[in-house]
Structure 1
């Protein structure tokens, strides 16, 4: 008598990239947000070749001009083309956002690993983290820029420092949970070094949450840079950025509202697109969401 039973087909694992692509294409809102974000990034990358006018050239004879065929979004108080300045300003704002996310995730990961795995470091480090989180991020950023001067590096540091404690707490919570797993206890019993345990067993558990957190940090950094520049504590006013454009135009808002509205709209759309994409990545990397996809 032969066994007529059919063997079960192995369950195919869906890669995170495929899951993200599936969710992005299945949701019209996320798809539109992804396209908009791609356009913003590409225009910022190729801005030097796309701008129709010199974004820093002063032309007083055409100051505060309304939108026209020559100046698509009008000009500012110094006669500079607003469309060109918004394109070039995207380079600074996006670089600050991406760099702040990378630095915050990198340093937060290192500190969070040690805080979650080594007890005595946790007791000291987390008190410092609690102290930093008690200070409003905008006030801390303004204080740092005031002490060290307004350059792109000081603004980047001022934005990154308030974000690091949030990443540290996230990584610490993940490590505290993972270190109680049997495979970590087995690695400790086998005499594996601390560096090996962190690299092989703890870091992989933090990758997905850190990617999600990084998208939110990027959006928050872009907004913080705009706020700092709007308050006069950001990047040098001669450097085009979305915040600087709005800061210079607020005095002339009643004469030409577009000086503030257009860069503000670009900031809002970029941040919204990043947040929506971050939500899609969260859904793709969440095992519960992946399980629902398989059940469907």
Structure 2
């Protein structure tokens, strides 16, 4: 009787992380909180009691009341609706920036690690990008392209790419000297086959961990850009824009910043806890130390 093919040893850690076995209580709570936040933002059009852009000056800066569970802002807009709808765009921008930066960094890093002639040129370019503070580079890119979702995603993505490139390059440089890779080269395997079949699986585990940190950083960076007025249009509700509008009324109504700030903090904390849990499961040295 034929047996089902078993996953390669390089893919087994990735499958273990996808299954999330043996999580501690902290990561389990983080996963639950993150799932609730994502579900609330996805279902925001049905959960939000009002249109987030509808203004009612008669009820401006009111506390919790009938029809407005969290009160209203300085234009009489419902805070709960704005927090829920704003979370959708904040998460979309963060996820898009994380995915694009990981994909581009993976491709560039594999080229740099495998082709020695391209390594010096690529890494000097990455060093030049990393020499510029990420937030300053992001603000400059948004200023050049104008405030829009696409420009914010690009502004967050470009500073993150060098970090992914350096990680992938280090993994590829180590795996390239392994006997099975040298054997594949000696047998005349194509470069594409060596990169995708032998080297790519080795990069997946560290990329999962790095991707979680990039996601948290991207969500926070979007909020910082919006708070500074360098993000998406101020009329568009995001967690950063909501806090930016509420800062001038902080003394009389601090919950204008409190509610989106709590959502932002819980989201980033949950992602970081899950990233730490994934790192603990994927890093053999940490597993051996725990054992």
TM-score (norm 2): 0.92
1:219 aligns with 2:181: no
- Structure 1 alignment gaps of length 5 or more: 1-12
**1:109 alignment partner, one of 106, 110, 120:** 106
Q: How does 1:80-119 map to 2 (within 5 A)?
A: 80-119=77-116
Cα distance in 1 between the residues matched to 2:14 and 2:222: 31
Q: Show CA shifts across 1:128-163 (max 9, x none).
A: 000000000110010010011000000000000000
Q: Show CA shifts across 1:13-45 (max 9, x none).
A: 976545653232xx1111111100000000111
What is residue 180 of structure 1 aligned with on the other side?
177
1:22 aligns with 2:47: no
Q: How many Å apart are 1:69 and its aligned residue?
A: 3.5
Cα distance in 2 between the residues matched to 1:242 and 1:275: 19
Cα distance in 2 between the residues matched to 1:132 and 1:69: 51
Cα distance in 1 between the residues matched to 2:280 and 2:149: 34
What is residue 191 of structure 2 aligned with on the other side?
194
What is residue 140 of structure 2 aligned with on the other side?
143
Cα distance in 1 between the residues matched to 2:14 and 2:108: 26
When residues 286 and 223 of structure 1 are mapped into structure 2, their CA distance, relative to the original with a 3 A threshold, is same
- Structure 2 alignment gaps of length 5 or more: 1-8
Q: How many Å apart are 1:62 and its aligned residue?
A: 0.9
Q: Would the aligned equivalents of 1:23 and 1:280 in 2 still touch at CA under 8 Å? A: no
Q: How many Å apart are 1:280 and its aligned residue?
A: 1.2
Q: Would the aligned equivalents of 2:60 and 2:74 in 1 still touch at CA under 8 Å? A: yes
1:78 aligns with 2:75: yes
Q: How many Å apart are 1:286 and its aligned residue?
A: 2.5
Cα distance in 1 between the residues matched to 2:225 and 2:123: 28
What is residue 153 of structure 1 aligned with on the other side?
150
Cα distance in 1 between the residues matched to 2:48 and 2:213: 29
Q: Show CA shifts across 1:24-78 (max 9, x none).
A: 2xx1111111100000000111111110111111111111111223211111111
Q: Which protein shows a greater Rg?
A: 1
Q: Would the aligned equivalents of 1:40 and 1:270 in 2 still touch at CA under 8 Å? A: yes
What is residue 41 of structure 2 aligned with on the other side?
44
Q: How many Å apart are 1:285 and its aligned residue?
A: 2.2
